[in-house]
Amino acid sequence: MGNSRLKTRRRQDQGSKWGRILIAILATVGVIDTGSITLHRLGILGVLTCPGGGQGCDKVLSSAWGSVGIGNLSIPLSSVGLISYSIVLILAIIPFLPGLSEKKHNLARPTWLGLFFISTCMFMFSGLLMAIMIYKIKAFCLFCVISALLSTLILILTITKGGWDDPRDLIFRGLILSIIVLLSGLVWSSLADPSRANLPINREGLAPPIQSVSSESSIELAKHLKEKNIILYNAYWCPHCHDQKELFGKEASSNLLLVECAPDGQNSQTELCQQKEITGFPSWEINGKIDSGVKSLEELANISGYKGNRDF
């Protein structure tokens, strides 16, 4: 009887096989979900219909919170989700991979811990994104809701099927990690908020001067966007608008079709901005549709059908 209990305990300590399989299935759905969004944002996947209709998905995914700035690059936030779900998928199936099955007892505990840590981060960050979607962007994106539900289910399966020795220790670690992720996320969301002005405001309603030097390619792209009647809606006090124009450089920016939306900005066209329902800065009007958020020059080139040199 003692041996039977010991075997049962060891089996529980390795976690549930079916729990891993369910997590792998959910992670695969997450990869498809976030992968589709990422390919669409990069201009590789053309049409992405928002389930339930409406333009809520475009509004959410193209908002200032829909991308992450890394240096002079702006990458879709969905790519972070794609990477996260891919890691979850790998951790879930590692013990089942050929050549590793003999070592599954050694791999089980580290991979379950990895699943717990990353699913906790995903759950907390998804919750923050849902709050931003509801209270800041005020739009509904089913793709985002699906991702939040997937991360929640993965965390629940990780906790209930991981065969943990001491749940109290697990809860303590999860609490500390949750606080770190939440605080970091709040800082990021504050920095990304279009209403936050961290640049000196010119009292005359003028945007800060552009400092970067334009390349020949960025100038050609700016002229191409102007020819296509692609408009950049901005506010002189908006730091993200300044970042967008810095990507083009001083000379190229002067070739863009710019619309000032701030009521006290120079040559303000506030009424036009209101008619276009501009809710975030910067916002691009491309083929009659409003697409908010800082765009990389490569992304703008893809969206606009630019065929020239791309040595940006």
Q: State residue 246's pLDDT score.
A: 87
Q: State residue 194's pLDDT score.
A: 61
Q: State residue 73's pLDDT score.
A: 59
**48 and 118, same domain (yes or no):** yes
Q: How many domains does the chain have?
A: 2
**Whether pLDDT at 203 is above 60:** no
> Is the CB of residue 224 less than 8 Å from the CB of residue 218?
no
Say what percent of the chain tops pLDDT 90: 40
Question: pLDDT tens across 104-158, in order?
Answer: 667 788 899 999 999 999 999 999 999 988 888 777 888 889 999 999 999 999 9
**Whether pLDDT at 239 is above 60:** yes
At 150, list the tokens. 């997937």
Query: At 120, which CATH number?
Result: 1.20.1440.130
**249 and 124, same domain (yes or no):** no
Which of the two residues, 216 and 9, has the higher pLDDT score?
Answer: 216
Mean pLDDT of the chain: 83
Q: Which of 158, 192, 226 is the last residue of a domain?
A: 192
**291 and 181, same domain (yes or no):** no
**22 and 146, same domain (yes or no):** yes
Query: At 295, which CATH number?
Result: 3.40.30.10
Q: Is residue 285 part of a domain?
A: yes
Q: Is residue 202 part of a domain?
A: no
Q: Which of 176, 192, 208 is the last residue of a domain?
A: 192
| String of DSSP letters for the chain | -HHHHHHHHHHHHT--HHHHHHHHHHHHHHHHHHHHHHHHHTTSS---PPTTSSSHHHHHHTSGGGEEEETTEEEEHHHHHHHHHHHHHHHHHGGGSTTTGGGHHHHHHHHHHHHHHHHHHHHHHHHHHHHHIIIII----HHHHHHHHHHHHHHHHHHHHS--S-HHHHHHHHHHHHHHHHHHHHHHHHHH-TT---SPPPTTS-PPPP-SPPPHHHHHHHHHHHHTT-EEEE-TT-HHHHHHHHHH-HHHHTTSEEEE-STTSTTB-HHHHHHTT--SSSEEEETTEEEES---HHHHHHHHT--S----
Q: Is residue 119 part of a domain?
A: yes
**169 and 269, same domain (yes or no):** no
Question: pLDDT tens across 70-85, in order?
Answer: 655 567 888 999 999 9
**280 and 132, same domain (yes or no):** no
> Is the CB of residue 119 less than 8 Å from the CB of residue 50?
no
Domain extent at residue 269: 216-304
**141 and 249, same domain (yes or no):** no
**168 and 300, same domain (yes or no):** no
**Whether pLDDT at 33 is above 70:** yes
**Tokens 């996947």, residue?**
45
Q: Is residue 246 part of a domain?
A: yes
Q: Is residue 229 part of a domain?
A: yes
Q: State residue 103's pLDDT score.
A: 62
**166 and 19, same domain (yes or no):** yes
**59 and 151, same domain (yes or no):** yes
**Whether pLDDT at 200 is above 70:** no
**176 and 245, same domain (yes or no):** no
